[in-house]
């Protein structure tokens, strides 16, 4: 199935990471999204890769919606130049809003918050609560330990092998969009095999 998103949620770090390729690939993705007129939905901050991707899209004429909880506004320095900034009461409301406003999800390098968001969206898909694409951008093999952890859950008998289809792992920003050409359907057994 070919997929033409109107909006994509990007999960990524509130830091830049220590390899400049992380930032370069985030910017490349941002420019492609702006060119394809795909709206960015993200955590609303102005720091780290979060702030960089938002600014790059705005600089290239794209639309950006930020979703930030009130208590993080001061820490993440909510971005003031966004097309739209939604303030939520809690982290849970933030993640729910980001989910509802997006046609799919892209995961860039990030820290624990990025992992939390990624695992949540993957588990919702495992439970068949949604069927939106999840693309993990494995810049410089950053997400290999994550990928191996998922493999370990299969090898250890805690997940159906169909969970491999919950997400697509790609190496470059360009291949994110190639991935949209052929998104696998997740097997029903991923949810039902152990019920």
For the CB of residue 44, give the shortest distance to ligand AMP in the complex, in Å.
7
17 near ligand AMP (CB under 6 A): no
191 near ligand AMP (CB under 6 A): no
For the CB of residue 176, give the shortest distance to ligand AMP in the complex, in Å.
19
Nearer residue to ligand AMP within complex by CB, 112 or 195:
112
Q: How many CB atoms lie within 10 A of CB 123?
A: 12
User: SS3 helix, strand, coil % of the chain, rounded to 5?
Assistant: 45, 15, 35
∠ CA 26-31-35, rounded to 5°: 150
b/e per residue 99-116 (b: at least 16 CB within 10 A): beebbbbbbbbbeebbee
Judged by CB under 6 A, which of 14, 46, 97, 102 binds ligand AMP? 14
72 near ligand AMP (CB under 6 A): yes
Binding site for ligand AMP (CB under 6 A): 13-15, 43, 45, 72, 76, 91, 110-114, 116-117
């Amino acid at each position: 199935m070919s997929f033409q998103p109107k909006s994509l949620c990007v999960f990524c770090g509130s830091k830049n990471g220590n390899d400049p390729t992380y930032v370069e690939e985030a910017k490349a993705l941002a420019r492609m999204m702006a060119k394809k007129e795909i709206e960015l939905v993200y955590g609303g901050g102005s720091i780290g890769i979060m702030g960089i991707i938002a600014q790059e899209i705005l600089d290239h004429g794209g639309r950006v919606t930020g979703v930030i909880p009130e208590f993080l506004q001061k820490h993440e320095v909510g971005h003031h130049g966004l097309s739209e900034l939604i303030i939520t009461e809690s982290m849970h409301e933030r993640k729910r809003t980001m989910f509802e406003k997006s046609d799919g999800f892209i995961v860039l390098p990030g820290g624990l918050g990025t992992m939390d968001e990624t695992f949540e969206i993957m588990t919702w898909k495992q439970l068949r609560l949604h069927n939106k694409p999840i693309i993990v951008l494995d810049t410089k093999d950053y997400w290999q330990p994550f990928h191996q952890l998922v493999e370990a859950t299969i090898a250890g008998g805690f997940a159906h092998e169909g969970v491999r289809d919950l997400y697509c792992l790609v190496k470059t920003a360009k291949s994110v969009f190639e991935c949209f050409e052929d998104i696998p359907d997740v097997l029903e057994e991923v949810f039902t095999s152990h019920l």
